[in-house]
A = this chain, B = another copy of it.
Amino acid sequence: MVKDNCKILDCTIRDGGLVNNWDFSVDFVRDLYQGLSDAGVEYMEIGYKNSPKLLKGADSGPWRFLDENFLRDVIPHKTATKLSALVDIGRVDENDILPREDSMLDLIRVACYIKDVEKGLELVQTFHDKGYETSLNIMALSHVLDHELVEAFEEIAKSPVDIVYVVDSYGSMDAKDIEFLVEKFKKHLPNKKLGIHTHNNMQLAFANTLTGLQHGVTYLDSSVYGMGRAAGNCPTELLLGLLKNTNYELRPVLDIIERHMLQIRKTWEWGYIIPYMVAGHLNEHPRVAMALRDSEDRDKFVDFYDKLTSPEVSAAGSKAD
């Protein structure tokens, strides 16, 4: 019998925080941790472990700058569900990171663009030496040239990183793209575990995650009700319901959606929304679409499409990362 041999990493608080500026109550996060635990989800990414000294955002909720003492109050009793945090290159103070045995966190994930892979791997080494599980998440793979990726693989293969992620930052990939990338990662990184992080601009986040799994990815990112930046992520509830011959339970996460997510979705917007579809289709960062949704022109889809597809102006009208 076919068994889906995988681990789910729910990133509702971390990626969803990009939607609501991490405005999640402690009660909600506690409830979510219990729900994910009951559902059998292996990891909960509870926020960013960036440093407030290195990044503006004093108005953000506490999940953007995780503090160990705070975390201990939030989750006094850890279950089998491990905790993870994401850090960005140049925004994390290594001195903030306790040795794992003193920390609430189990996994630290390092997100970087291709040009910063070396810096990313230095951080990975630091966190690895402190005892953490580690991952490297190279963002915006759809904008990376093949030779850059192959060069990066050489460095990654030598590092102690446990998991390397295929990240579809712009929600622009289809099954063939995922298959191509996963096979390439497998070929160059035969000793690493692989993960996948998708966005739902073209309603392909869940399907692409399944494609990744079929080709050997074992760490699946998702968020409850798909809550994540712009079009959001692969919905956790779909993985819980659809993966074959696992011990996951759908019911506890339906309960979270019923009691919390419907209300959050009334206040904050994410999901399949036409400007995000257009951005995904055009393989663009969603920031211009997000700005549109924040303006009075939020539903002017044709104007937006014309702006992004006109050859006379820069597609985004914004600076590169």
Q: In the assembled complex, how far is the CB of residue A219 from the closest CB belonging to chain B, in whole angstroms?
A: 20
The reply to whether the CB of A115 lies closer than 8 angstroms to some CB of chain B is no
Say whether, besides A258-B299, A302-B251, A242 and B281 are in contact (CB < 8 Å): yes
Contacts of A302 in B (CB 8 A): 251, 254-255, 258
In the complex, the count of this chain's copies comes to: 2
Determine the distance from Cα of A211 to Cα of B179 in the docked complex, in whole angstroms: 13
Determine the distance from Cα of A108 to Cα of B299 in the docked complex, in whole angstroms: 36
Within 8 A of B (CB), among A236-287: 237-238, 241-242, 250-251, 254-255, 257-258, 262, 272, 274, 277-278, 281
Interface 0/1 of A59-85, CB less than 8 Å to B: 000000000000000000000000000
Asked if B301 and A238 make an inter-chain contact with CB atoms under 8 angstroms apart, the answer reads no
Asked if B206 and A237 make an inter-chain contact with CB atoms under 8 angstroms apart, the answer reads no
Among candidates B174, B238, B255, B305, residue contacting A203 with C-beta atoms closer than 8 Å:
B238
Interface of A is mostly: helix
Asked if B203 and A203 make an inter-chain contact with CB atoms under 8 angstroms apart, the answer reads yes
Determine the distance from Cα of A155 to Cα of B26 in the docked complex, in whole angstroms: 63
Asked if B305 and A251 make an inter-chain contact with CB atoms under 8 angstroms apart, the answer reads yes
Contacts of A251 in B (CB 8 A): 302, 305-306
Contacts of A210 in B (CB 8 A): 174-175
Say whether, besides A210-B175, A254-B302, A277 and B203 are in contact (CB < 8 Å): no
Among candidates B203, B208, B258, B281, residue contacting A205 with C-beta atoms closer than 8 Å:
B203
Determine the distance from Cα of A299 to Cα of B258 in the docked complex, in whole angstroms: 6
The reply to whether the CB of A204 lies closer than 8 angstroms to some CB of chain B is yes
Among candidates B203, B250, B262, B281, residue contacting A200 with C-beta atoms closer than 8 Å:
B203
Contacts of A124 in B (CB 8 A): none
Determine the distance from Cα of A206 to Cα of B301 in the docked complex, in whole angstroms: 21
Interface 0/1 of A120-154, CB less than 8 Å to B: 00000000000000000000000000000000000
Pairs A–B under 8 Å by Cβ, sample size 19: A174-B210, A174-B242, A175-B207, A175-B210, A200-B203, A203-B203, A203-B205, A204-B206, A207-B207, A242-B281, A250-B278, A251-B302, A254-B274, A254-B278, A255-B302, A257-B301, A258-B300, A258-B301, A272-B272
Further 4 A-B residue pairs, CB within 8 A, beyond A175-B210, A202-B238, A254-B274: A174-B210, A203-B205, A206-B207, A241-B278
